[in-house]
Amino acid sequence: MHVSGSVAAFKACELITALRKNGCEVRVAMTAGAKRFITAATLRSLSGHPVLDDMWANGTEAHGMGHIDLGSWAGVHVAVAASASLIARLAHGFADDAVTTSLLATRAPLLVAPAMETAMWEHPATRANVEALRSRGAHLLGPVSGRLASGAEGDGRMVEVAAVVEAVLALVRESTG
């Protein structure tokens, strides 16, 4: 699981617990932006694994490339609450932090659940980035219309955690045959 700097990042906590209840082992990477909203300690406690939040930390592996391990370990990757910035970086193949590098160093399916204000979601740049991800096979889930962090109503609200769980489990079933 990959967590980025949207207000809805806190929903990653509930998602980890729900996925584990459904039999998934969850390992988490987070962006510097995500750390402005939730802590690595919380995600570590809930997942039961160290959180990859610094590409340059030595980690536990001898080769010191936790992003390569996470990229290849996961059967399915899920990015929540995917920020406009993360979507842009993924669309352009950036590998500039633990999350984007792990997501470039993988052949596993990617599910993206965006969360942002309506103007960001509807911006032509975001639309193009989303289409680029879709055209490469990424699965976009939501966002939906509803109350946003700013208090406004509109498109951009992250889908419910239950919907993400369902989509992840479907991809797991697909990838394990």
Ligand X SMILES: Cc1cc2nc3c(=O)[nH]c(=O)nc-3n(C[C@H](O)[C@H](O)[C@H](O)COP(=O)(O)O)c2cc1C
Least Å distance, CB 175 to ligand X, is: 26
Q: What are phi and psi of 9, to 5 degrees?
A: -55, -30
Looking at the Cβ atoms of 15 and 115, the one nearer to ligand X is 115
Q: Transcribe 31-95 into DSSP letters.
A: -TTGGGTS-HHHHHHHHTS--B--TTS--SSTT--HHHHHHHH-SSEEEEEE-HHHHHHHHTT--
Looking at the Cβ atoms of 33 and 154, the one nearer to ligand X is 33
Least Å distance, CB 166 to ligand X, is: 23
Least Å distance, CB 58 to ligand X, is: 22
Least Å distance, CB 30 to ligand X, is: 8
Looking at the Cβ atoms of 75 and 146, the one nearer to ligand X is 146
Rounded to whole angstroms, the Cα distance separating 3 from 30 reads 5
**What sign does the CA torsion over 133, 54, 29, 104 have?**
positive
| Token pair listed for 61 | 């592996």
**DSSP code of residue 119:** H
Looking at the Cβ atoms of 12 and 115, the one nearer to ligand X is 115
Least Å distance, CB 105 to ligand X, is: 17
Name the residue among 174, 145, 161 with its Cα closest to residue 1. 161
Looking at the Cβ atoms of 48 and 149, the one nearer to ligand X is 149
Give the chain's length.
Answer: 177
Nearest position to ligand X, beta carbon: 33
Contact positions vs ligand X (CB under 6 A) = 4-7, 31, 33-34, 83-86, 115-116, 120, 149
